[in-house]
Structure 1
Amino acid sequence: MIFSPLEQFSVLLIFPLFVGSFDFSFTNSSLFFFLAVGLTAHLFSITTENGGRLSPTHWQLIVESVYFFVVSIVQGQLGSVGNRYLPILFSLFCFLASINLIGMIPYAFTSTSHLAITISLSFVFFIGVTLIGFRRHGLHFFSLFLPSGAPLALAPLLVVLEIVSYSFRGISLGVRLFANMMAGHTLVKILCGFSWSMLGNGLLLTVGSVLPFGVVVALTGLELMVCVLQSYVFCVLLCIYLNDSENLH
């Protein structure tokens, strides 16, 4: 049984594996990572088998809708140049959405509720976007840190501010995803515990428990939307950063 709202975020060891001073142990976080990837890959496999059906199934319609949704995001932010990044962005959206949604299952684990995981993920893409900028523009990429038309007297201050702002992109992506996942799950657990406590403490409180229980149901629906929304926000911001690397806007 889970008694603390924060106990649901505990990383539990399943298979210990240590190589020297490095810890490669398999945990519940790793389990749900593989589960999310496996279920998503299986869904795409059965819906795209033999090129898909001429008369699509419900699952095929869902997959196609998700695909065209991501295409609209990428083309809206990057234009035609975004086609080269479409596979990784589509995979990223499905990966984050599946992990977030699986975490809504009772007694499941939400891997994106841990800051170490989301920060690692955001820094990988931040470094990748920066390397793309240097590969595309060379040293001219540094012009991104000096806004056009800015007075030269303010250049030292503006460059420092722009560099700090640019560096925080790698942090903000991960912190935003982590904070929303952890806060939402914690709030749902607190209200569930409050409603359950009222249910077993007298007739009057039992009747009154209907209100927090209704809030839990509504909040659960909202949290399901947030799971998909945060995947969308992560991909949109990544597209914006890619656009800066491609066009130096």
Structure 2
Amino acid sequence: MIPIHIGNLYFPSTNSSLFMLLTIGLVLLLVHFVTLNGGHSVPNAWQSFVEMIHDSVPNSVNEQISGASSVKQRFFPLIYVTFTSSSFRNPIGMIPYSFTVTSHSIITPGLSFSLSIGITIVGSQTHGLHSFSFSLPQGVPLPLAPFSVLLEPISYCFRALSLGIRLFANMMAGHSSVKILSGFARTMLSMGGIPYLAQLAPFFIVFASTGSELGVAIPQAYVFTISPCIYPNDAINLH
């Protein structure tokens, strides 16, 4: 959209960066106006919506992360930001002429690997070199130990990759099907003629698929949030 050159470096402003900034802006504006002047003693609809999101995150943190309450609360900001941004970022692509950031394979692995690297750093700060004992789980027979040491780090890296690919694949597949059906419905409606009701059928299918896609976008935000709840538990408590 906007080419930006700094010396020999190229930092273009793209659709992805624009809609990620818009998503964060929407979240910040919503929370700002809801909490303005301390909020209302009797919550309105918007305040109830924000409080519902805020209350659902500690439940996920408490269920997935074991240990003291102070340890759990350290991860609350990370999980809250991940959930709110994903909840807004996934459905925003359903708005006409908008852009679905999470339907691009370069964005979602970047997010998942960033989370994984951060959690790995937390585990290293907590346990030092002992944090790498994840490569040798408890109960592994001694003859299988060399294979476990080789395979477990690969599995550890691939879980971050799978987290990003899962979100990308679900969002791309759903949005692509809606786009294809929309183009088909437009073509059928422009044909005219007597069997008009038959031509309206793809139009109603588009409405139904749009509802199902919204039903996929919100749970995918929850799934993308649950995994960063499980990973800190593994990093802190190890085995």
Q: Aligned partners of 2:217 and 2:9: how far apart in 1?
A: 32
Residue 43 of structure 2 is matched in structure 1 by 56
% identical equivalent positions: 49
Change (3 A) 1:204 1:136: farther
More displaced 10-residue stretch of structure 1: 55-64 or 215-224: 215-224
> Which whole-Å deviations, capped at 9, do the CAs of 1:92-112 have from their partners, x for residues lacking one?
111111111211101101111
- Runs ≥4 in structure 1, deviation > 4 angstroms? none
Structure 1: segments with no counterpart, 5+ residues? 1-12
Residue 165 of structure 1 is matched in structure 2 by 155
Residue 25 of structure 1 is matched in structure 2 by 12
Is the Cα contact below 8 Å between 2:3 and 2:12 reproduced in 1?
yes
Give the 5 Å matches for 1:1-249: 13=1, 15-79=2-66, 80=69, 81-203=71-193, 206-249=196-239
Return the letter of the residue paired with 1:129.
I
Partner SS state of residue 116, structure 1: coil
Is the Cα contact below 8 Å between 2:92 and 2:98 reproduced in 1?
yes
> Which whole-Å deviations, capped at 9, do the CAs of 1:45-77 have from their partners, x for residues lacking one?
111112211011100000000111111111110
Is the Cα contact below 8 Å between 2:3 and 2:13 reproduced in 1?
yes
> Which whole-Å deviations, capped at 9, do the CAs of 1:94-144 have from their partners, x for residues lacking one?
111111121110110111111111111111111111111111111111221
Structure 1 length as normaliser, TM-score? Answer: 0.90
Q: Once superposed, what is the RMSD of the aligned Cα atoms?
A: 1.4
Return the letter of the residue paired with 1:61.
S
Residue 10 of structure 1 is matched in structure 2 by none
> Which whole-Å deviations, capped at 9, do the CAs of 1:173-205 have from their partners, x for residues lacking one?
211111111111100000111111111224355
Is the Cα contact below 8 Å between 1:196 and 1:209 reproduced in 2?
no
Q: Aligned partners of 1:102 and 1:136: how far apart in 2?
A: 38
Q: Aligned partners of 1:202 and 1:156: how far apart in 2?
A: 69
Partner SS state of residue 33, structure 1: helix
Partner SS state of residue 153, structure 1: helix
Aligned residues, how many? Answer: 236
More displaced 10-residue stretch of structure 1: 16-25 or 187-196: 16-25
Structure 2 length as normaliser, TM-score? Answer: 0.94
Structure 2: segments with no counterpart, 5+ residues? none
